[in-house]
Structure 1
Amino acid sequence: MDSFLDKNFQVLLGFLLIFSFGILHGANDLVIMKKSTLIKHPNSILKSIGSYLMVVLIGILVFFFFPQIALFLFIIVSAYHFGEQQWQILQNYFSKWLVYVFQLLYGLILLLLLFTIHSKEVEKIILNITNSIIPGHNFKTLLYFFGIVFICLTSYFYWKTKRIRKKIHLEIFHLLIFAIIFKSSSLIWGFAIYFILWHSIPSIIDQVKYIEGNFSIKHFITYCKSAWIYWFISIIGMIILYSIFKDKHLFNALFFSFLAAITFPHVIVITHMFIKKNTQKNRAISDSVGISKK
């Protein structure tokens, strides 16, 4: 597709994918909150919506008034979120804090790989958002540093547990695929391919399984029906921002502040969902073991 699609069309298609499946995968957070007992009583739903919107508003304000800090937090939170989606299997074998560190590390490797390959373009985006210059070679230095730590931790996991070795082989292969995709694609198109195929769609499948008990086309349609209003509001918001600020550098800051603002509460909700799933799974295993002993 990279060979046949014009670069401008790649950017357009990338944004279309991000604004469709990308936004959709975070549009059902309130349903997940209710399922995860983050909303414990029907009367508390307005309070939960208010808290969710408050986090979004704080994210926008921090990004607008303290862009350097907000961008740093956005990258860290996004990196952890990406790693969390890919490496849930580790929760069964290692301490939670070691898993958190590894998940963050994996996400940082992924993002730094993208930033290093498209360093010039990323430099311009950061400059427009923060009015600060970060030389592209810094991305490469960080990639090497975190890459060494990643190799060390991965080797430890590989030596420690045979059951996750196939997963390690697969994810290392994926990193090679990402490097090829990022190298041959534009910044937005390369990111969109990863974000949709490896993150958003798998996340939607996990969310549907959590909400409905299993994944099916019928349950996916139900998921879309419950999410469409939040998705629609998000899209309208982006259209309004673009129509007002499309010819100004301010739009870049507003665009990323919007993405960051909806990312922060989404990551909290999904992390709680995974914790709840693992707790239920462990409880089911314990119950089955207890029955077997009896």
Structure 2
Amino acid sequence: MDETQVVPPFLARVQPGTPAKNSPSQRSPKFLQLDVNNVKFQLGDVPALKKTITLTNTSGLRIAWRIRANAPTRYVVNPACGFLTSNEAQTLMIELMEPAKYSDRHKFIVQAIEAKDDEKDRRKIWEDSRATQLDKIQCVRVLTSGLTMTPLSTTSIDASSSASGTSTGTTASSTTSGTSLASTDSIGSSASTTESTGSLSSTGSTISDWGDKITELTNQAKTLLESKNKNSKQMVELVNQVKRVEVELDRSAQEYATLNSRFSELTNDIAQLEKKSKQLDEDLKALNKEKEFIMK
């Protein structure tokens, strides 16, 4: 591997026992700062998840930045590159398209490099040789982590089981007390048992109501997520259209430059032909004058 090639930190393979390179010439500069270095996704049965990262230019220079991922087909990042002036901030939207295929190996790297005021083409900046020099580019690694959601239905079932266990314990205690007491206390024991049964029925009714509400909220959430998924797909289509337009614009610019160069060449050829034509006219006039002089 060429030593000048920039390898993202999360892709680099360091052999055990290899000493770290801390020479001052390869020390990474500090251009920007991130508000988070670990993006946490709340995983669940959803079509897509979104998180944000804010970049802040902490240097006094104009910089160019870009973000790269080791799983680019799983994420949509908008915007994915740009410029930042001194103390300017930019918020990035990171969207995980298929949470079911998430892996904790997914990582991002944010790169920043100094950009002069007259540099407008991001592609030329990152294709330049200075983008391969570690002492001129800053690389910030962003990790990801997935948090599993606890279903609400499980919590409701646990609460129902706890309530049923408590009511059953109360009933058993009342029955045991009624058996050990004299027959004159049987009326009080029956009343206690009836009260426990009523409490259990009330608890069951409450759990049923909560179950209906949870079902209703779940349906509403699914409807909202479907709408959000459609909007996300539309946004992806728009981004793809913009990219296609950018490609067409680049192609048109190249064709325009070629035609302009050809036009300049033709203009020069026409000017040379006009100059030669004038010279021929002058020579022809001179020959006519000599002919007239000879005829006389």
- Could you say which structure has the higher helix fraction? 1
Same fold (TM over 0.5): no
Over alpha carbons, which structure has the higher Rg? 2
TM-score by length of 2: 0.20
Structure 1 length-normalised TM: 0.21
Q: By percentage of residues, which structure has more strand?
A: 2
